[in-house]
Chain A
Amino acid sequence: MSLDTDLWWAVARSEEVTSKKPLSVDIGDQPVVLWRDHHGIARALEDRCPHRRAPLSLGCIRDNGLIQCGYHGWSYDGETGRLKEIPNMKDQQKFPPLYKANAFGVSEQAGFVRVCLNPKAEAPLSAEPKYSYIGTVNVSCSHQEYLDALYDDPALILAIRGVRFSPYIMSELHEEGGMLVMERSCQWHPLHWPSHFVAEFPLTLLTRTHPLTGETHLTLRDDAFNDLLHAVLSPVPAARGVTAVRWRAELGVRRPGLRGAMLRGVNPLTVLSSIDGSKLRTTKPTVSLHGEDLRNALLDAPQDTHDQTVAA
């Protein structure tokens, strides 16, 4: 898939990027290697050594913060991608500027490491806190199908402890500040009545999705307008049509009683690592169909309406 090169993709959680071992991720068809240098700064290069194309992620991170290819040991600087050292040529100090791996833009905020294929792109600012419930899954489903599943039936891709998503929507997908926003009615689990006979729903799930990256902020609210749960879900298109999903979540207002306790259990949010194909294929595209028109309208509109600073 061809991707807008100025987008920032949350390809890793902060915990996953270390100076112990390089991390291999993708942005679409582009393999990316991530690591943390000796100053603790996250770095991203193309995961392909320009010498003989070996993946740099099979190499190691040196004490001086350089990444070293595992094949012939060439070492690269993470900020510029420039070649700094060849093992048998230790006395050679400088290599021509052409001797470099492709470097990408990196920005780390709120517990996510975001990478932009354009190293000159400006990183979005985020005022978000770093949520402490975390997870990573790789789902074998395309990026757009994944988002469509989220719109049409969130239960296909995630679960919130003690909560059941209903098919009834309080607000259909619409544009708000450049984001695709919708709100779905939810019930506590176990149910008292099937959702079609319910007069008042006790909960809603509000989702705000960036129209291009699909990065989504979820808020679970009760009928007193208390935020019970916040989460950020970041689906990134990866190799072979897989969608790599990183997420972070935090409980909001403490809800008393049994239901609150249930929500507060081990991990309030679960993002599923696979989608049930038989459910997926029979899920009617309703919100997603509408979402497609909306997204197209949004993308045709002047650029600043989907400024990514809003997303992050």
Chain B
Amino acid sequence: MLDIADRPTSHDDNSAPPAGGSPIAMNVVNRWVPHNIVMRDSWFPVAHDYSVTGKPVRRAVYSNPIFLWRDNGVVVASEFHPNERVVRDKSDYTDARGRYPVMEHYGVVWIWLGNPLAADPRHLPSLPFLPPKGGLPRHMTATVRFESSAPISLENLIDLTHADFLHADVVGDERSDSETIETYYDSETVTMVRTCVNKSVAPVMKFFSGIKQPTQNVRQVIRIYLRSHCAIAYGRFSPGDDVPLFHPCTPETRDRTRMEMVMNTSNAGRMFSYVMPKAGYKVSRQDSYMTSPQSPRYMRHTDRKDLHSKFDQAGQRYRMAMMELADRQAKGDFAYRDNVSADCSDIIGLRKELFQF
């Protein structure tokens, strides 16, 4: 049932497949225990920049405590609350003062969890549709939480067939004249491109963008940065709007996920640009309805294999790529073999002219 193109991004036919260039091995895919995957040496998005002020706010990545505040306007990410009477040991993830490497970019605060000496802005995921210095209006942002492990939420995202079904009232049902799905990947990312010709118009666009036609052509891209558990969800609808979404799934714990969402709707109609980011609340509740009960069922290994359809290939690739990276990390190899900060506009097919900063 598996017959859809799936290829490594940098693979030409004469070279040996790069790491991660293996064919999808179902026995690996079925060994998926997302709760056991813990990534480090990575930037994790933990807060919208406006949420961090003089008063410390608390975050967590894999249960590691993080307190964020501003000192003379500069973000500080500490393992300890300034008022805390410290009775626990400092972790290896922070410097002598208990501070994590931290940076502000794309309107988001990122902390580096891993070897602090390895922290490098070059490992920050490329999000070319967000202004590097931030500043998008707040109504384009939201915070959403999921009672599921972060990889479960990301698997949900990269599997777009559920959207036609679970979110049909927002994004439209599955009917279209043709549908192709392609998957590209390297050792740090998995990207899926789904192209639908004459797909049922998304109701949210019908109502708020005034699309009169019954169908539209749709190109949807999901790009996941594996280590950071961050995704880009970019939809190009014609007729319709260009809607790129930053969809991080930060693992606050191994089975609770925080999403500091940013949807850049600056190019869409005024109504739509207000409504669409809010649709995220509805869509996320629909997802949560399924992923919350699903997540505990993946907490332990089982010999029972999941069933798959040809539409699950991107999700399978995601599982495999995550497990490969986790395996490498288990062996103490935290090096980046691919550059996550290189501009991915071409890969996601971003209409650059609409997003000039």
Q: Which residues of A contact B (CB under 8 A)?
A: 48, 50-55, 58, 70-73, 83, 86-89, 98-99
Q: Which of A48, A52, A58, A71 contacts B165 (CB 8 A)?
A: A71
In angstroms, Cα B159 to Cα A86, docked, is 14
Q: Nearest Cβ distance between residue A49 and chain B, in whole angstroms?
A: 9
In angstroms, Cα B311 to Cα A87, docked, is 11
Classify the secondary structure of A's interface with B: loop
The answer to the question of B179 belonging to the interface, with a C-beta cut-off of 8 Å to chain A, is: yes
Query: Which residues of the partner chain B approach A70 to less than 8 Å between Cβ atoms?
Result: 166, 289-290
Q: A88-B179, A89-B309 known; 6 other A-B pairs, CB under 8 Å?
A: A53-B297, A53-B306, A54-B294, A71-B166, A72-B161, A89-B311
In angstroms, Cα B179 to Cα A87, docked, is 13
Query: Which residues of the partner chain B approach A88 to less than 8 Å between Cβ atoms?
Result: 161, 164, 174, 179, 309, 311
Judge whether A53 and B294 touch: CB under 8 Å: yes
Query: Which residues of the partner chain A approach B87 to less than 8 Å between Cβ atoms?
Result: none
Query: Which residues of the partner chain A approach B159 to less than 8 Å between Cβ atoms?
Result: 72
In angstroms, Cα B304 to Cα A98, docked, is 12
Query: Which residues of the partner chain B approach A86 to less than 8 Å between Cβ atoms?
Result: 309, 311
Query: Which residues of the partner chain B approach A53 to less than 8 Å between Cβ atoms?
Result: 294, 297-298, 306
Query: Which residues of the partner chain A approach B165 to less than 8 Å between Cβ atoms?
Result: 71-73, 87
The answer to the question of B59 belonging to the interface, with a C-beta cut-off of 8 Å to chain A, is: no
In angstroms, Cα B290 to Cα A52, docked, is 10
Q: Range of interface residues on chain B?
A: 20 to 34
Q: Which residues of B contact A (CB under 8 A)?
A: 155, 159, 161-162, 164-166, 174, 179, 289-290, 293-294, 297-298, 304, 306-311
In angstroms, Cα B13 to Cα A286, docked, is 80
Query: Which residues of the partner chain B approach A50 to less than 8 Å between Cβ atoms?
Result: 304, 306-307
Asked whether A99 and B307 contact (CB < 8 A) given A53-B294, A58-B289, the answer is yes
In angstroms, Cα B155 to Cα A87, docked, is 19
Q: Which of B162, B166, B293, B306 contacts A55 (CB 8 A)?
A: B293
In angstroms, Cα B176 to Cα A89, docked, is 12
Q: Which of B164, B179, B289, B306 contacts A52 (CB 8 A)?
A: B306
Query: Which residues of the partner chain A approach B161 to less than 8 Å between Cβ atoms?
Result: 72, 87-88
Q: Nearest Cβ distance between residue B251 and chain A, in whole angstroms?
A: 19
Judge whether A71 and B290 touch: CB under 8 Å: yes
Q: List 16 A-B contacts (CB under 8 A).
A: A48-B297, A51-B309, A52-B155, A53-B294, A54-B294, A55-B293, A58-B289, A58-B293, A70-B290, A71-B165, A71-B290, A83-B307, A86-B309, A87-B164, A88-B179, A98-B307
Closest residue to A100 on the B side, CB-wise?
A: B307
In angstroms, Cα B287 to Cα A52, docked, is 13
Which one of A54, A58, A89 has the highest number of Cβ atoms from chain B below 10 Å of its Cβ?
Answer: A54
Q: Nearest Cβ distance between residue B77 and chain A, in whole angstroms?
A: 35
In angstroms, Cα B290 to Cα A73, docked, is 12
In angstroms, Cα B289 to Cα A58, docked, is 8
Judge whether B297 and A51 touch: CB under 8 Å: no
Judge whether A71 and B309 touch: CB under 8 Å: no
Judge whether B307 and A87 touch: CB under 8 Å: no
In angstroms, Cα B311 to Cα A99, docked, is 15
Asked whether A52 and B294 contact (CB < 8 A) given A70-B289, A87-B174, A88-B161, the answer is yes
In angstroms, Cα B309 to Cα A50, docked, is 11
Q: Which of B164, B306, B310 contacts A51 (CB 8 A)?
A: B306
Closest residue to B298 on the A side, CB-wise?
A: A53
In angstroms, Cα B307 to Cα A73, docked, is 14
Query: Which residues of the partner chain B approach A71 to less than 8 Å between Cβ atoms?
Result: 162, 165-166, 290, 294
Query: Which residues of the partner chain B approach A51 to less than 8 Å between Cβ atoms?
Result: 306-309
Judge whether B307 and A54 touch: CB under 8 Å: no
In angstroms, Cα B307 to Cα A71, docked, is 14
In angstroms, Cα B1 to Cα A51, docked, is 14
Judge whether A54 and B311 touch: CB under 8 Å: no
In angstroms, Cα B155 to Cα A31, docked, is 24
Judge whether A54 and B309 touch: CB under 8 Å: no
In angstroms, Cα B155 to Cα A50, docked, is 16
**Lowest 8 CB-CB distances: which A-B pairs, in order?**
A73-B165, A53-B297, A71-B290, A50-B307, A72-B162, A54-B290, A88-B174, A54-B294
Query: Which residues of the partner chain A approach B162 to less than 8 Å between Cβ atoms?
Result: 71-72
Q: Nearest Cβ distance between residue A88 and chain B, in whole angstroms?
A: 5
In angstroms, Cα B217 to Cα A27, docked, is 48
Query: Which residues of the partner chain B approach A48 to less than 8 Å between Cβ atoms?
Result: 297
Query: Which residues of the partner chain A approach B309 to less than 8 Å between Cβ atoms?
Result: 51, 86, 88-89
Closest residue to B287 on the A side, CB-wise?
A: A71
In angstroms, Cα B318 to Cα A52, docked, is 14
Q: Nearest Cβ distance between residue A99 and chain B, in whole angstroms?
A: 6
In angstroms, Cα B164 to Cα A70, docked, is 11
In angstroms, Cα B309 to Cα A88, docked, is 10
In angstroms, Cα B156 to Cα A51, docked, is 12
